[in-house]
Amino acid sequence: MNIHAVREQFPILHQEVNGHPLVYLDSAASSQKPRSVIDAVSRYYELDNANVHRGVHTLGSRATDAYEGAREKVAAFLNAESPEQIIFTRGTTTALNLVATGYARSVCGEGDEIVITPMEHHSNLIPWQQAAKATGATLKYIPLQPDGTLSLEDVEKTITPRTKVVSVTYVSNVLGVVNPIKAIAEIAHRAGAIMVVDGAQSTPHKRVDVQDLGADFYAFSGHKMCAPTGIGALYGKRTLLENMEPIEFGGEMIDFVELYDSTWKDIPYRFEGGTPVIAGAVGLGAAIDFLESVGLDEIEQHERRLAAYAYERLSTIEGLQMYGPKENRVGLITFNLDDVHPHDVATVLDSKGIAIRAGHHCCQPLMRWLNVSATARASFYLYNTESDIDHLTDALIQTKEFFGHAIG
């Protein structure tokens, strides 16, 4: 992977922020977009824009082809059995809400169980809280090991024959842990439960095969993988999708409408009420082409190298604590610096042109498990370099000095 060639394709990276060259270390929140994605969206609006699945005119056909072409790209990217099993959504949150409301509520009842983990992002936690409250099901948590990983022994203990749904993130947005989804899915299936996977942090960074994983549903967002905001997708097993209820009703999703009753289109259209995010889907298709051209395995290797380098560099800073396991982690590092609050760390870094995230990362229960109120997080993507990590390390040492003087 030629890092310079990759960086050249991201126009936003070549600017100064607060008088310093931008060092963007917040891709786990949202990634930057390559020229090819920006151009694909512009080209769509300049040449093909029209509504999909209804007009008989030429632009309508082109827009439909572009939109459905993107669906085929997503299906191939995830190794889904067929494009109809890909539902375009606003992102991971909308996708998981669709499963929790449209599917889980119809299969869960009093005494049934929904199993998740304490490391879930709020978007894979609150929909299940709500589903449990609505159905009388019990929400159960697979406990975390001291280093933040899951043990299969605990997975076995937590999942029972009453478990209907197991929903776990593939990669933690805080701990950087890669969860053993395939093994968890096998345990879930043996118990007769379905396996839902939050793929928000995995899809951008590693090759994903939903069939090999044993995922019954798999959700992800485009904007974390070089695509525009406002587009993402839900993959589902065909029989499950066919038994899932739509949760949004209106145009585009209907088969036949009478005064007092209506019927739905086939999957996936019954879940895509209203005019979809067509340009976003086109952008997502272009992002997939871009990531494939670089190579998902190369991207994963590059990020693992960066994470190992960052781990080593940041370990040299006295008073800096890192969270999550040292081994088998993806390209993000969550940390705290002595007594300096992460917001203050982020502000000092920003003054040096370095963008990191500070806060609870939409993981309040995990923050309580870590016994912190907030943390700082630096996350890496294919366009980051070892030099970015050197800048981060230097700036953190300066932050410590700055606050040492200011406080001392």
Partner 1 sequence: MQLDDLYRRVIMDHYKNPRNRGTMDEGAVTINLNNPTCGDRISLQLQVEDGVVSNAKYTGEGCSISMSSASMMTEAVKGKSFQQALEMAERFSCLMKGEDVEFQENEDIEALSGVNKFPARIKCATLAWNALRKGIENEAKS
Contacts to partner 1 by CB under 8 A = 18-19, 341-344, 347-348, 350-351, 358-360, 364, 367, 373-374, 402-403, 406-407
CB atoms within 10 A of CB 97: 20
Kindly state the smallest distance separating residue 231's Cβ from partner 1, in Å: 24
The enclosing H or E element of 185 equals helix 181-190
Kindly state the smallest distance separating residue 248's Cβ from partner 1, in Å: 26
User: Which of 29/107 has CB closer to partner 1?
Assistant: 29
Kindly state the smallest distance separating residue 278's Cβ from partner 1, in Å: 31
Nearest to 63 by CA among 290, 233, 280, 292: 280
| C-alpha distances in Å from residue 29, one per residue of 75, 284, 332, 356 | 24, 17, 11, 9
The residue with tokens 């040292």 is 326
User: Which of 241/395 has CB closer to partner 1?
Assistant: 395
User: Which of 154/344 has CB closer to partner 1?
Assistant: 344
Kindly state the smallest distance separating residue 348's Cβ from partner 1, in Å: 6
Kindly state the smallest distance separating residue 402's Cβ from partner 1, in Å: 7
CB 275 within 8 A of CB 138: no
Torsions phi, psi for 272 (to 5 deg): -120, 60
Please indicate whether residue 362 is annotated as part of the active site.
yes
The residue with tokens 């309580």 is 368
Amino acid at 90: R
User: Which of 38/372 has CB closer to partner 1?
Assistant: 372
The enclosing H or E element of 32 equals none
Q: Which two tokens stand for residue 42?
A: 């512009």
Kindly state the smallest distance separating residue 136's Cβ from partner 1, in Å: 28
CB 184 within 8 A of CB 165: no
Give Cβ neighbours of residue 400 (< 8 Å, ≥ 6 apart): 317, 319, 337, 338, 340
CA atoms within 13 A on the CB side of 206: 20
CB 226 within 8 A of CB 290: yes
User: Which of 51/351 has CB closer to partner 1?
Assistant: 351
Nearest to 237 by CA among 95, 81, 78: 81
User: Which of 126/240 has CB closer to partner 1?
Assistant: 126
**Active-site amino acid positions:** 362
